[in-house]
Structure 1
Amino acid sequence: MKKSLLLIALFVVACMGVGLAQPTATYWQQQANYQIQVRLNDTTHSLDGTVSIQYINNSPDTLQFLWIHLWPNAYKNESTAFGEQTLLEGNLDFYFSKANEKGYINRMQFTANGLPATLKDHPTNIDIAQLQLPKPLLPGQQLQLQTPFHVQLPSLFSRSGQHKQFYAVSQWFPKIAMYDADGWHPMPYLSVGEYYSNFGNYDVHITLPDNYVVAATGDLQNAAEKAWLLKRKSAPIVNAPAKKELFKTGKQPEPFPVPASSRKMKTLHFVANNVVDFAWSADKRFIVKHDTCNMANRSIDVWNYVLPEDTERWQQSISFTKRSLRFYSQQLGTYPYPQVSVVASPGSEADGMEYPMITLLNVQTKNDAMLDQIIAHEVGHNWLQGILASNERNHAWMDEGMNSFIERKYMQSFYEADSRGSKVPADFMQVLQQLHVSRHQDVPIINTPDTVFPLVHYPAVYNKAADWMELLEKRIGKNNMQVLMQQYFQQWQFKHPSPQAFQQMAETVANTSLQDVFSLLYATGPLLQPVKKTTKVTGFFSLAYNDSVRYINLAPALGYNMYDKFQIGLTINNYNIPNNKFQFVLTPMFATGSKTLTGYGRIGYHWFGKGAIKRFELYSGFARFNTNSGIDSVGGSIYSGFSKIAPGIQLQLKPRNSLSTLQRTIDFRTFIISEQQLSIGSPPAPGDTIFYSRKGGSVTTIIPQLTFTWVQERKLYPWSVALQVQQVKDIVRSSITAKYFLNYDKTGKGIDLRLFAGKIFYLTEKTTTARNNNSRYHFTMHAPNGAQDYTYSSPFMDRNQSVGAAGRQISMRDGGFKYRSDFSAVVPGLKTNGVDYFDNWLIALNADIDIPNKFNPLSVLPIPTSLKIFADVGTSASPWTAGSNQQKFLYSIGIHLPLFKAIHLYYPVLQSAAFKEPNSVNDPFKAGGPNWWQKRLTFSIDIQALSPKVSGIKLL
C-alpha cells in the first residue's frame, strides 16, 4: 500500500511539471570545455601539457576578463590560504616541508582566439589569477583559450600530489572560475572547503610509462588498455637484488616494493561529457577489480583499483560499489555516466575525496561495514555536487549533508543497527557536533570553511546537516521526502541549485511554508528542544549521544603514596557528550596503609553569556590524603595529612573572532586547607630518651588566589602567559609565568621556553622571625618538593623527602630548576655561604630542548622515545645587594627523559658551584655515601597530560 501511495505521489508531482521550483526561463549557466594533453615525468614528479578551453558566455553580461584558478600554486609556500588552513587543522607537515616537496604551476602563455592574453596576479592569493582578454566577450559568444603549462606535483599533503610514485592528480590544470548571476566566484584552494565549477566536456590525453595503471574521470577510449586492465588480477612481482647488509638498521623492507618504470611510453585517451572536473590517479602496483552494473537498460562499468596492501580489506569492495550505485539511483535518479571508479589511496590526505566518476579513499580497518559506508558516501557524491553542482564552498551542506542523509538510509537498509548505543560511536562527527553544541562552540549549518575552524565546520555540514534533513523528512513525511529528492535531481541535474531553489521545491512538494525548518540552517545550538532525560549508570565512560539519557559513569580507582600505600576506590562522574551544565567527579578511596578514607573530587556548574564573557563556572575542588606517619607510644602507626576545599569562579572571555585560537580566562579561587600535625613526645622517666609520635592539633590556612591567563593554543609556536596574585599568611606572592614553544619540525619537536618572574610583598614588618615563619611560601629557584607544594595542587608520592626513589619527586613552579632541595638546609639548595630566602624577587629562564631523532640514541628503540636537554638559569634579589658574595646567576644543565607523556626524569649534569649535592635525601649512613644517580636524579608527574581528549579538545 505504501509503495502504491508513493507511486501515485510521484505521478502527481511529475504531472505538475513546471509547478515545481525548476530553473526558470531566465536561468543561465556558463560552459567550459577542455582539451588537455599532458605528460607525466615520474622522476621529477611533474606534468607538462597544453590545454585548450572553449568558454561559452551564456550570461547576459559582457566579460572583460576571466578569473583563472591556478590551484597547484596552493602548494608553493606556507603563506597560501591552503598553508594557513593546514595550521588551523593542527597539521605541520606542509609548513615544515622541504622545497622539493612543494608544488606549483608555471610556464603559461595564454592566447584568446589566437591573440595574446595577459595573466594578472590576484591581490592576495597566488593560486588565483585574472586573465585580461584582448577583446571583450559578449553575451552568447564563445572564446577559445590555449596555453601550455608545467606542474610540479607536491608530496601528498592534500588531495593532489605523489607518494612513492602513487599519483593523485586533481585540481591540476588552469581552470576557469565560476561566473553566475551573483558574479565571479574566484576562490583559493583549501584543504577544508571544496569547489564550485562549470560543467563541460573533457577530452584528455595522458602520456606516461607503459606499466602504470591509470584510473580517471571519463571513459577510456583505448581498447587495448581496457583489455590489459581486465587481466590485471595481481600486482607485479619485484625481485630486489640481494645486498650484503653491513649494518643492521632494524628497518623493515617494503612488503610491496614499487617496480621500476618502463622505458616505453603510452598515451591514454579519456572522454567525459557534462562533468565539473577531471581527476586521475596512477600507480604501477594497482590490482584491478571490474564488474558491470545494469540499470535503465545500460551497462555501467564498475572499477576498483586496489593497492597490494589493501587486498584483504577490499575483498567486498566491488559489490559495495555496485550496491551504492543502485541505491543512490533509486533514491535520486539513474546514474548517468558510463563508468565509476573507486581507488585505494595510500595512507595519505588523498583519501575520502570525490571527483566525477572517480573517488579516492583509504580505509585503515578490516571492518567491512566501514568500508561499505565510505564507498557509498564517496560514490554518492557523483549525484550530490557532481551532478547537482551547488556552490560547495558556501553551501557544503547541500552536498555533504544531503549525501550523509542518504548514506544513513543506505546503512540502515543493509545493516541491522548503527552504533549510537555503543560507548564509542562509529560516527565521530556526531560526537564532535554534540560536544560543540554543549560548549556553545558550534556554528550554523550554512557556514563557510574559511571563517570557522575545520573541526567545527565538518560536524556542522556533515552530521548536523544530515540531522536537519531527517528533521525535514519528519516534517513533510517520508513519501514526500522521496518525491522531493527525486524531483530535485530531475529538475536540477547538470545545473547549479541554490538553497533557495531547494526550499522552494520542498515547499511546493509539501504544499506549505517551511520557513521555520529552513531558518534552522542559519541557527546555532540543537535542532530540537531538549527532552527530559533519565539517568543511567554505565561502566567506565560513554561517548555515545542519547537525547533522552544522562549517563553516570563508574570506574575503579587506584592510588598510591608512601603513607596511605595503595588506595582502592571508585570514580563516579557525569562527564558526557554533550557536556552537562552541572558536572562532577568524585573519587572516594580506602587506603590500605593508613586504613583511612582518602580521595578527591570536583563539582562545577557553568553557563554561557552573550557578551564579553563567554563562559561562567562556579566550582569547588576537594581532596584528602595522608602526608606523614609515625609510631605512637604503644608501637602503633599514626598518620597526619591534609583536607582541602578550593571553591572558585572562572570566567572565560569571548574570542575576538571565530578563528582565534587565543583563550583568555580569569580565575579566582580560595584554598581552605586543614593540616593535621604530628608532634614528638617521650614517655615518663626513666624512659624519657625514647621518642614517639603523637597527634597534634590541626592548622587551617586560607589562601585566596587570582589568576589571569592567556593561552594561544595554535599548533605552531603556541604560547601562554599567566599573571597570578596569591596571599598566604603574611605575604603576597605576585608572579608572571610565560611559556613559548618553538617548533623546529613537523613531528612536534622543538624548544620549550619558560620565563618566570616573581615579587613578594610582606603585609607585616619583614623581620627574621617573619621570614622564617613564611619560608614555606617563598619562591624557590629549584623545583618545589612535596612539602613546598603548600596548596597541594600536585600529586606527590612522598611529600616529606624520605629515603628512596619516591622522595625525588618535584613539581614545576617558580624558578623551575630540576635539582631537588636539601631536606636539612634552612634555605633549600644553596650552600651556607649563599643564604637566600628568595622572598624579594626572582627571575628564571628554563629551556627544554628536543634532541632531533637523527641525533637521539633512543630513536633505535621499537617504541619511539624522546630525549631532551634542559637548561635553567636564574637570579634573585640577594646577590645584587651591596656586600653580597653570592653568585649572581645560577645555572643547571642536564638530561630530560619523558616517559608515557606524564612522567619526566631529570638528571642535572652541569650546575652552579653554589649548589650543594642533596645528600641528606639519601641515606647519609650508607657506606661510601649515596650512589651517583641518587645525588641529582629527580622526576615529576604531570597528571594533566593524561586528560582525555576528543580530536584535541579536552573533556575534563
Structure 2
Amino acid sequence: MSIQQKLLCSASKTLKSLFIKSLFLFCFLVVYSSIHAQRPIYKITATLNSFGTDTMRGTIDITWTNRSNAPLDKLGIHLWPNAYSDRNSTLSKQMVEQGHFDLLHARDEDLGGLYDLAFTSASGLPQKLTLDENNIDIGWINLNTPLNPHATIHLSSAYTLIIPKSFSRLGRTGDAYQLTQWYPHIAVYDDQGWHMMPYLDQGEYYNDFADYEVSITVPQRYKVAATGVLQSSEQKGDLIQWNFKASNVIDFAFFASPTFRHETLKVNVGAEEPVELNIYTDAWNTQDWKSAVLYGERALKFYSDWLGPYPYPQMSVVDAPFSKGGFMEYPMVAQIGATVDAAELDRVIAHEIGHTWLYGILASDERTHPWLDEGFNSFMEEQYMKAYYKDADESVFPTIIRDRHSMPDNVALKHAIRFNGDLQPSNTPPEHQKSDQYLLSAYLLPEEGLDMMLSMVGEEKMKMMFRQYFQDRKFTHVAPADIKASFEKICNCDLTWFFDGWANHAHEVDYRLKKFDSKLNNVTIENHGTSTIPVLVSGYEGHEKVTQNWIDGFAGKKVIHLDKNVDEVRLYDGLMGVNKNWQANSKPRNFKPSLTLFPKISNYFNPEINVTPVLGNNIADGFMTGLALTSGLFPQHHLKWFVMPMYGYDSQKIRYYGEGRYITDLKSNLFDKLLISVAASSFGYNLDTSYQFIDHFLRVSPSVGLKLNTTLDQPHLTRWIKYRYVDITQYYGKSNINNTYSRQQRHYGIHELAYQMSSDVSIMPYKAVANIQAGNGFVRLNVNYHQHFLGKDKMHGLWVHGFGGWLPYFNNSFATTAFSFNGIPSSGTAEKDYMFDEWLSGRNETGGLSGHQLFMRDAELKTLATVGISEKWMLAGGVSTALPLKYLHVYMDGTLYHSGVEQKPVFSYTGGLAVILWKDVFEVYVPILESRDIRESINFTYRNMWFDKICFQANFKLANPLNVVDGIQLKY
C-alpha cells in the first residue's frame, strides 16, 4: 500500500469515526436540548380585596413535566413577592445600595408577601415547601417521590398574597394595583441545573414558556389590563370575574385600577389576523396620552417590520404614573411610568412593546446576559426614534452646559464612567453593577456595538439579520451564540468581534491616531488597549467626508493607506464614543480653542476654554471680580486646568488661583491611576491701616497621587496614596521701634504623605485619611475618620467623626502646627490654616461676620474659643443627627488632649444645634453646652451673648471645578 493509500485509508477511518461521533453527539444534543423546552401549565384564581386589607386570595394549579434525563427529587420555585416581606431581603439590600431606603424603613402594614402555601400532588399528598437559607423568595418543593424523566406532576395550593406598597415592580399605589411576579413560579431547569435567583430591582428574569388560564375577581368599579386574551367576564354581585387565557408566554401580569380609561384599535402587522391594541390611561393623564394609540400602533408595525410579525392576539399598554415599577415589560402588556413629554412617551411605549420580541419571544437569561434584551432593544428603539424624530433632543443635561458642538449626553456619561475605571463589560451580571454601570453595560454599550455593525452591513442587511434571528429562535431560550449564528447566516461575516470582543472588552477599546502623512495619505494607528474590534477610518477634505473604510481589528501598530487625498483623518466618525481615548480620534487635531460661556460638555475636535464670571470677597482685598477659565471638564480629560484671576477693589491688586492636573491610567496589578498636580494661589489675608500694606501670601503646591485598583470583593472602596509639598511665603508689615513699619516675608515648606480610603456603600459611607506631615521644626501624624450611618434617607441618620494626632517632634515650628479644637481666624502670621488649603474670607479677622467662620481641622469642635492647643497629642470624636425639623441637627463633640498651659490631659466638649443648609459645605452652629475651659476662654469675655458664639462653616474650596469633577468621579 502506497503512502497515498495509507493516508487515504487513514482519512477514511477518521471520517467514519467522526461521522459516528457526530451522529451520537447530534442525538445527544437533541435529547439534551429538550430540557430547554419546558412548557408548564398554570391555572390560577385570584380574588382582590381592595377594601382595607390589600390582599388577594386564590388557588394555583401547576402542571410540570420533567423533560431531562435524570429523576428530580425537588422543584425550584420562585416566591418573588416574599422579597417585600423582609426589610433585609436581597431586594431591600440592593435598593439600599442604589440609594433607595423605602423598603428598608417600610412600615409593617406596607410590607407584603405570599402566605398560606401548602402544595399537594394530584393524589392529595402534601409536598413539603422549604425556603432557601439566604433568600426568602426562593423555595424548593421537596417531592415525596422522585419525578422521573418525562413524567408529569400536578401541584395545587391555596395562597394569600398581601400586596405591598409600591417599592418596586409589584405593589399598590392608591386604588391601583400592579400585580407582577405575584404568584409562585417554577424556575427554569436546563442542562445547567436550576436557575434560582432572588428578586431584584436592578436585574430581571429568566422564565420558561408556559400556558396560563387565570381568573381574576375584582370589585366591579375596577378595569383589568392583563397578559393574554380576555375570554369572558362575569358579574358576581358587586364583583366582576375576568377570565384570561395566554399561550406560549413567559409570565403573566395584570393591572387593576378604577380610573382606567380604555381605548382600542386593530393593528395590521403583516400576520394573518390583526392585533388588538389596548391603551389603558390613568384618568388624570389623558392629555399626555392622547396620542398613545398612535405610538402603540406604529411601534407594533415597526418591530414587526424589523423582526417579524407580532405573534400574539393583543397588546396592552398601561399607564402607571405613580408606580415605583417605572417602565417594565410583560407578555402582551407594557407598564409605562411617568414621562415628561410626548416624545419620551412615544420612546418608552416603543421600547416596552419592543421587549415583547426581545425577551418575551426571544427569551434570554436577563440575569446572566441583560444586554441581549436591553441592549438589542435599545438599538431598535434608537432606529424607531430616528424614523419618527429626525431632530429629537435626547439630552438629559441642562442646556446651559451643552452647545451644538458638545458630544451626546450618553456618550459623555460613558466616557466619564470609563475614565473612572468603572465601565464594565456588557456580559457583567446586573447584581454586580452600580446603577450607572448597568445603564451603560446593558443598554448603551451593546447599542453602540450594534450601531457599528449597522455601519458595516447597512440597514437592509441588518433587518434581514434580525428577521433571521427571530425566525430561528422565536419562542426559545437564547444565548449569545444563537444570535451570532443567525446573524452570520445573513451577513456571511465573522461577528466574533461583537459577541466576544465587544461584549467582553468594549470598555477597553483604545485605538489612537499616532501619525498622519497627508502627502502619502498614510495613517499610523496604534492599539493601546486589549480589544481588537474593527476600526472605522474616515477621511475629510475641507469639511466633506470623501472616504470611509472599516479595517479589521489588530494589536500593536498599523499603517493604513487611504485611497483619496484628505486633509483630516478621524477614527470612528459618528461613533466616537467607541474609543476610550476620545481625544486621539482625529488628526490633525484643531488646537484652536473654542471659547464658551460657562463649562460645557466637551466636543471631539477642539480644546475648550470655558469662561465663567466670578465674584469674591475677603477682608484684605475687598470685593473682587474676575473670570474663571477652565479646560473641558466633562467628560474627564487627561490634562485639565483651572485659572481664576480676580481684581481686588480695596487692595487694587490682581489675585489668583490656578491649578493643573494630569491623570493617566496605570496598567499595573496594584495601581489604577496616576494623578500629578501643581497649584498656585495668592490672596491678601490681613489689612492693617497703620502701615498701609496688605499682608498677602503665595502658595505653591505640587502633588502626586496613586489610585489603587478596586478589588472585586470591595467594589465600593476607593483608595489613594498621595504626596504633596506645600510651599508658603507670607508677605507682611512689621512694626519697628521708632514707630515705623517695614515690609517682611517669611517662608516655610511642608511635606505630606497620606493614605486615603473611602467607601460609597449607601447605608454607611465613610472616609478615612491617615497622613504624616513634616517641616522645619515639626513632625505631625494625623488620622481622620468620618462616617454616615443612614437613617430613612441620605438626609437623616447618624454622622460620626474621629481624630487622633501625635507630634513626635515639635520645636519652634514656623507653621502653626500644634493641635487645636478646629480652624478659626488667627492673628499676625500664625495661621491655623497653616497649609493655606482653605478659601477664607477673613483669615485674620476676629470680629464681624468673617470672624465667625471656621473650618474643620483636628478635633472639629464647633466653637470660636481660642483654648485647646496641644503640642503633644490629641484625641477627639463627635456625633450629630438630624431632627424631624428640616435642616436642623443636634451635635456633640469632645476632645481629650495634652494641654500646654496646664501640663496635663484635659477633656473639653461642646454641643448644640446646627442648621445644615448643605452638608459639609454651608453649616451654622449654635453652641448650647460647653465645657468650663471654653466658657471661660479669654476671647469669650467679649463674646458674652449667645449669638456672639454662633459660628459657621463655608467650604468655598469645594467650588474649585477640578475638585468637583475629581471628587465625584475619582473620590480624590
Same topology, TM > 0.5: yes
Q: Report how far residue 538 of structure 1 moved.
A: 5.1
Match of 1:204 in 2: 214
Range that drifts further, 373-382 or 208-217 = 208-217
**Whole-angstrom CA distance in 2 between matches of 1:543 and 1:78:** 42
Counterpart of 1:726 (choices 773, 780, 787) is 773
Question: Alpha-carbon deviations, 1:175-202, whole Å to 9, x = none?
Answer: 0111223332111111111111011111
Question: Alpha-carbon deviations, 1:848-892, whole Å to 9, x = none?
Answer: 2211x2xx2xxxxxxxx410112122221239978x6x8x32121
Let me know the Cα RMSD of the aligned residues: 2.9
Does 1:897 find its partner at 2:915? yes
Residues 1:74 and 1:949: Cα distance change in structure 2 (over 3 Å): farther
Does 1:184 find its partner at 2:194? yes
Match of 2:448 in 1: 467
Aligned amino acid, residue 748 of structure 1 = M
**Whole-angstrom CA distance in 2 between matches of 1:948 and 1:44:** 49
Match of 2:654 in 1: 597
**Whole-angstrom CA distance in 2 between matches of 1:119 and 1:146:** 12
Q: Aligned runs of 1:853-872 on 2, under 5 Å? A: 853=884, 856=885, 865-872=886-893
**Whole-angstrom CA distance in 2 between matches of 1:209 and 1:548:** 62
Does 1:553 find its partner at 2:610? yes
**Whole-angstrom CA distance in 1 between matches of 2:458 and 2:751:** 60
Question: Alpha-carbon deviations, 1:92-129, whole Å to 9, x = none?
Answer: 22222222222221211112333322223324322111
Q: Aligned runs of 1:568-583 on 2, under 5 Å? A: 568-583=625-640
Residues 1:955 and 1:593: Cα distance change in structure 2 (over 3 Å): farther
Does 1:779 find its partner at 2:819? yes
Match of 1:55 in 2: 64
Counterpart of 1:909 (choices 916, 928, 942) is 928
Q: Report how far residue 458 of structure 1 moved.
A: 2.0
Does 1:839 find its partner at 2:871? yes
Q: Aligned runs of 1:12-23 on 2, under 5 Å? A: none
Does 1:522 find its partner at 2:497? no
Aligned amino acid, residue 490 of structure 2 = V
Match of 1:321 in 2: 296
Residues 1:208 and 1:488: Cα distance change in structure 2 (over 3 Å): same
1:666 is paired with a residue of what secondary structure? strand
Match of 1:306 in 2: 281
Does the CA contact (< 8 Å) of 1:353 and 1:359 recur in 2? Answer: yes
How many residue pairs get matched?
848
Counterpart of 2:114 (choices 105, 110, 120) is 105
Q: Report how far residue 932 of structure 1 moved.
A: 2.7
Match of 1:795 in 2: 839
Q: Report how far residue 457 of structure 1 moved.
A: 1.9
Match of 1:662 in 2: 717
Match of 1:394 in 2: 368
Does 1:502 find its partner at 2:483? yes
Does 1:631 find its partner at 2:689? yes
Q: Report how far residue 948 of structure 1 moved.
A: 5.0
Match of 1:813 in 2: 857
Segments of 5+ residues of structure 2 without an aligned counterpart are: 1-25, 510-577
**Whole-angstrom CA distance in 2 between matches of 1:668 and 1:54:** 67
Does 1:567 find its partner at 2:624? yes
Match of 1:824 in 2: none
Aligned amino acid, residue 134 of structure 2 = T
Counterpart of 1:350 (choices 321, 325, 328) is 325
Aligned amino acid, residue 66 of structure 1 = L
Q: Report how far residue 732 of structure 1 moved.
A: 1.2
Does the CA contact (< 8 Å) of 2:233 and 2:243 recur in 1? Answer: no
Match of 1:40 in 2: 48
Q: Report how far residue 918 of structure 1 moved.
A: 7.2
Residues 1:33 and 1:540: Cα distance change in structure 2 (over 3 Å): farther
**Whole-angstrom CA distance in 1 between matches of 2:196 and 2:308:** 31
**Whole-angstrom CA distance in 2 between matches of 1:945 and 1:126:** 44
Q: Aligned runs of 1:695-734 on 2, under 5 Å? A: 696-734=743-781
Does the CA contact (< 8 Å) of 1:93 and 1:157 recur in 2? Answer: yes
Taking structure 2 as the reference length, the TM-score comes to 0.82
2:431 is paired with a residue of what secondary structure? coil
Does the CA contact (< 8 Å) of 2:927 and 2:950 recur in 1? Answer: yes
2:854 is paired with a residue of what secondary structure? coil
Match of 2:680 in 1: 622
Aligned amino acid, residue 810 of structure 1 = L
Does the CA contact (< 8 Å) of 1:675 and 1:698 recur in 2? Answer: yes
**Whole-angstrom CA distance in 1 between matches of 2:603 and 2:483:** 30
Question: Alpha-carbon deviations, 1:566-602, whole Å to 9, x = none?
Answer: 2222222234443111122222222222222212122
Counterpart of 1:450 (choices 411, 427, 431) is 431
**Whole-angstrom CA distance in 2 between matches of 1:454 and 1:871:** 36
**Whole-angstrom CA distance in 1 between matches of 2:755 and 2:154:** 63
Does 1:139 find its partner at 2:152? no
Question: Alpha-carbon deviations, 1:157-177, whole Å to 9, x = none?
Answer: 111111223211111111011
Does 1:72 find its partner at 2:54? no
**Whole-angstrom CA distance in 1 between matches of 2:808 and 2:441:** 51
Does 1:936 find its partner at 2:949? yes
Residues 1:166 and 1:660: Cα distance change in structure 2 (over 3 Å): same
**Whole-angstrom CA distance in 1 between matches of 2:966 and 2:640:** 18
1:277 is paired with a residue of what secondary structure? coil
Does the CA contact (< 8 Å) of 1:907 and 1:936 recur in 2? Answer: yes
**Whole-angstrom CA distance in 1 between matches of 2:618 and 2:378:** 51
Residues 1:819 and 1:273: Cα distance change in structure 2 (over 3 Å): same
Does the CA contact (< 8 Å) of 1:802 and 1:921 recur in 2? Answer: no
Q: Report how far residue 643 of structure 1 moved.
A: 1.4
Does the CA contact (< 8 Å) of 1:218 and 1:357 recur in 2? Answer: yes
**Whole-angstrom CA distance in 2 between matches of 1:325 and 1:550:** 44
Residues 1:289 and 1:456: Cα distance change in structure 2 (over 3 Å): same
Q: Report how far residue 459 of structure 1 moved.
A: 0.9
Residues 1:955 and 1:592: Cα distance change in structure 2 (over 3 Å): farther
1:438 is paired with a residue of what secondary structure? helix
Q: Report how far residue 611 of structure 1 moved.
A: 0.9
1:915 is paired with a residue of what secondary structure? helix
Does 1:754 find its partner at 2:801? yes
**Whole-angstrom CA distance in 2 between matches of 1:466 and 1:658:** 29
**Whole-angstrom CA distance in 2 between matches of 1:756 and 1:263:** 70
Does the CA contact (< 8 Å) of 2:264 and 2:278 recur in 1? Answer: yes
Match of 1:341 in 2: 316
2:890 is paired with a residue of what secondary structure? strand
2:432 is paired with a residue of what secondary structure? coil
Does the CA contact (< 8 Å) of 1:807 and 1:921 recur in 2? Answer: no
Q: Report how far residue 534 of structure 1 moved.
A: 4.0
Range that drifts further, 646-655 or 127-136 = 127-136
Q: Which has the higher contact order (CA 8 A, sep 6+)?
A: 1
1:777 is paired with a residue of what secondary structure? coil
Does the CA contact (< 8 Å) of 2:233 and 2:242 recur in 1? Answer: no
Instruction: Work out the percentage of aligned pairs sharing the same amino acid.
Output: 27
**Whole-angstrom CA distance in 2 between matches of 1:177 and 1:450:** 19
Residues 1:596 and 1:454: Cα distance change in structure 2 (over 3 Å): same
**Whole-angstrom CA distance in 2 between matches of 1:24 and 1:943:** 67
Q: Report how far residue 952 of structure 1 moved.
A: 6.7
Does the CA contact (< 8 Å) of 2:756 and 2:770 recur in 1? Answer: yes
2:627 is paired with a residue of what secondary structure? strand
Residues 1:500 and 1:746: Cα distance change in structure 2 (over 3 Å): same
Q: Aligned runs of 1:73-88 on 2, under 5 Å? A: 73-88=82-97
2:503 is paired with a residue of what secondary structure? helix
Residues 1:110 and 1:542: Cα distance change in structure 2 (over 3 Å): farther
**Whole-angstrom CA distance in 2 between matches of 1:389 and 1:803:** 71
2:702 is paired with a residue of what secondary structure? strand
Match of 2:848 in 1: 804
**Whole-angstrom CA distance in 1 between matches of 2:672 and 2:455:** 34
Q: Report how far residue 346 of structure 1 moved.
A: 3.2
Does 1:874 find its partner at 2:895? yes
Does 1:611 find its partner at 2:656? no
Counterpart of 1:287 (choices 261, 264, 274) is 261
Does the CA contact (< 8 Å) of 1:105 and 1:150 recur in 2? Answer: yes
